[in-house]
Amino acid sequence: AATSSAGVTTNPKTVEINGKKYTTDSWFNVSSTTLSLTSRKLHLQKDHPVAITRKIIESVFPGPTYRYYNDFDPVVSTYENFDSLGFPPDHPGRARTDTYYINKDTLLRTHTSAHEAELFRTTASGGYLISADVYRRDEVDRSHYPVFHQMEGARVWDRNKVPNGDLAAAVLADLERLPKHDMTVEDPNPPFHPERNPLQAEYHTEAEAAAVAAHLKRSLELMVNEIFSRARAAAAAAAAAEAAAGRGAKKGKPATPPSDGSGSADEPLRVRWVEAYFPFTSPSWELEVFYQGDWLEVLGCGVSKQELHVQAGRPSQMGWAFGIGLERIAMLLFKIPDIRLFWSRDERFLSQFRGVEDDLTRIRPFVPFSKHPACYKDVSFWLKGASAAGGNLGGAVDWHENDLMEVVRDAAGDCVEDVRLVDEFTHPKTGRRSLCYRINYRSLEKTLTNQETNEMHNRVVKGLVERLGVEIR
């Protein structure tokens, strides 16, 4: 079989995903490790931290106004994932280096927005929430994994169904009915650039867009507030328990939890809105939370582009949509330090969340169990295609780091904690480019033996040579 640029040597002719068979073609680039995760559905596993996080978010968007869809198949068409949302044909997200394709027209969804066009057709009023596993070819480290979970929400209003046809007034009335919060919102209305985020004045007025945006922002602020209130309560309860245990019968003030923006009750939560860009919303924002000394992006959102409502056969509707990463939120909520832990079947992980889904007051920060030792190994190689004429890649044809990441994941699975480029060098005469990567092998489940680490590393080296055509130095 041919070696594709995406780095898979032999393509199976068909693959089966959740009981359905798909025919592959030369676009196929899904590693067996990733394929095996399509059946896990962590967002539906009772008491899993991803599922608990989903439940908390659902509680902020109650039925019957919002309908929940939690079991959509991860295999979607290229059209659904990209074209239906207005992604241009040359958008980088479509690249085979970034997206897992089954075949040219079929892929593993990269985001829950893949279902937006369909749900806009079927949503006659109110809104919806989707939670699902999503897939992206990406780097390997403590906060990136090729499979993660997203939750998508949307809300629509129909100008033919609101009193006097006054959509802005109807939206503002709904906004009035939402609870308030006392969170500090910095930059509640960041300026936006009409060339990236046009108003869509041909479809709606500024007042209508402003009302929808205000409803969107309040809804999402309430969600973040709910999550961080729970995170704080959890940290305070853990600190109180620790103080009680540490001081015996002495009933003092509970120890102050670490001041990281989520732990301390007297430190107000800080959030801010920043302008963003998505092909299917305008205007668009990201919500950031101040966490451990830095602004962390937690979600993307915006006023849905009217073309999507038109295409869905509901041109009289308008509304908002958002997408949020569940692991990112769960890591904050439970203080989970490594994204790979979500995939663990280790009782020392799973047992810490048991009983929490039905009683959210039992949320406590995750207590890390002892880490097994790390083992660092380097691999240095020359890229193929050695001619100085090749431009800024030093002559390398078709080198994409994500292909290396895929080889590593296939060879060593979850035993790789981290992969980093530690050296690069271009030969002054030949223009050949050499790279050195440092791979950190560490299992979450056991201490790896030298032999096990060596075997994995040999598989990585072999994979790099056979699949990516590099020459080991």
Q: How far is the CB of 110 from ligand FA5 (least distance, A)?
A: 7
Per DSSP, 146 falls in state S
Stretch that binds ligand FA5, among 12-20, 97-105, 298-306, 311-319 (CB under 6 A): 298-306
**Site residues for ligand FA5, window 245-284 (CB under 6 A)?**
278, 281
Q: Is 404 in the site for ligand FA5 (CB under 6 A)?
A: no
> Exactly one of 263, 300, 365, 395 binds ligand FA5 (CB under 6 A); which one?
300
DSSP 204: S
Residue nearest to ligand FA5 (CB): 325
**319 is an interface residue for ligand FA5 by CB under 6 A:** no
Peptide bond connecting 283 to the previous residue in cis, omega within 30 degrees of 0: yes
Q: Select the residue interacting with ligand FA5 from 261, 302, 319, 394 (CB under 6 A).
A: 302
- Identified binder of ligand FA5 from the candidate list 127, 257, 319, 325, rule CB under 6 A: 325
Strand partners, 397: none
Q: Does 53 bind ligand FA5 (CB under 6 A)?
A: no
The secondary structure of 98-138 as a DSSP string is TS-EEETTEEE-SSGGGGHHHHHHH--SEEEEEEEEEE---
Q: Which of 30, 147, 321, 383 binds ligand FA5 (CB under 6 A)?
A: 321
Beta bridge partners of 101: 107
Whichever of 167 and 405 has its CB closer to ligand FA5, that residue is 405
Under rule CB under 6 A, which residues in 166-205 are in contact with ligand FA5?
A: none
Ramachandran quadrant class, 341 (left: phi over 0; alpha: psi -120 to 50; beta: rest) = alpha
What is the rounded distance in angstroms from the CA atom of residue 250 to the CA atom of residue 427? 69
Residue placing its CB nearer to ligand FA5 in the complex, 299 or 396: 299
CA 367 to chain CA mean position, Å: 24
Task: Candidates 191-199, 297-305, 413-421, 461-469: pick the segment binding ligand FA5 (CB under 6 A).
Answer: 297-305
Q: Does 328 bind ligand FA5 (CB under 6 A)?
A: yes
213-248 CB burial, b ≥16 within 10 A, e <16: bbbbbbbbbbbbbbbbebbbebbbbbbeeebeeeee
CB of 142 or CB of 348, closer to ligand FA5: 142
Q: What share of the chain is helix, strand, coil (3-state, %, to 5)?
A: 35, 25, 40
With beta carbons less than 8 A apart as the criterion, state whether 395 and 433 touch.
yes
**Residue 298 interacting with ligand FA5 (CB under 6 A):** yes
Q: Which of 129, 140, 214, 299 is close enough to bind ligand FA5 by CB under 6 A? A: 299
Q: What is the smallest separation between the CB atom of 429 and ligand FA5, expressed in angstroms? A: 40
Instruction: Please give the Cα distance from 25 to 36 (Å, whole number).
Output: 19
Tokens representing 260 are 């990281």
Instruction: Name the 3-class secondary structure at 381.
Output: strand
| Interacting span for ligand FA5 (CB under 6 A) from 246-254, 315-323, 394-402, 442-450 | 315-323
Which positions from 109 through 148 interact with ligand FA5, judged by CB under 6 A? 111, 113, 136, 138, 144, 148
Q: Which residues bind ligand FA5 (CB under 6 A)?
A: 111, 113, 136, 138, 144, 148, 150, 152, 278, 281, 297-302, 321-325, 327-328
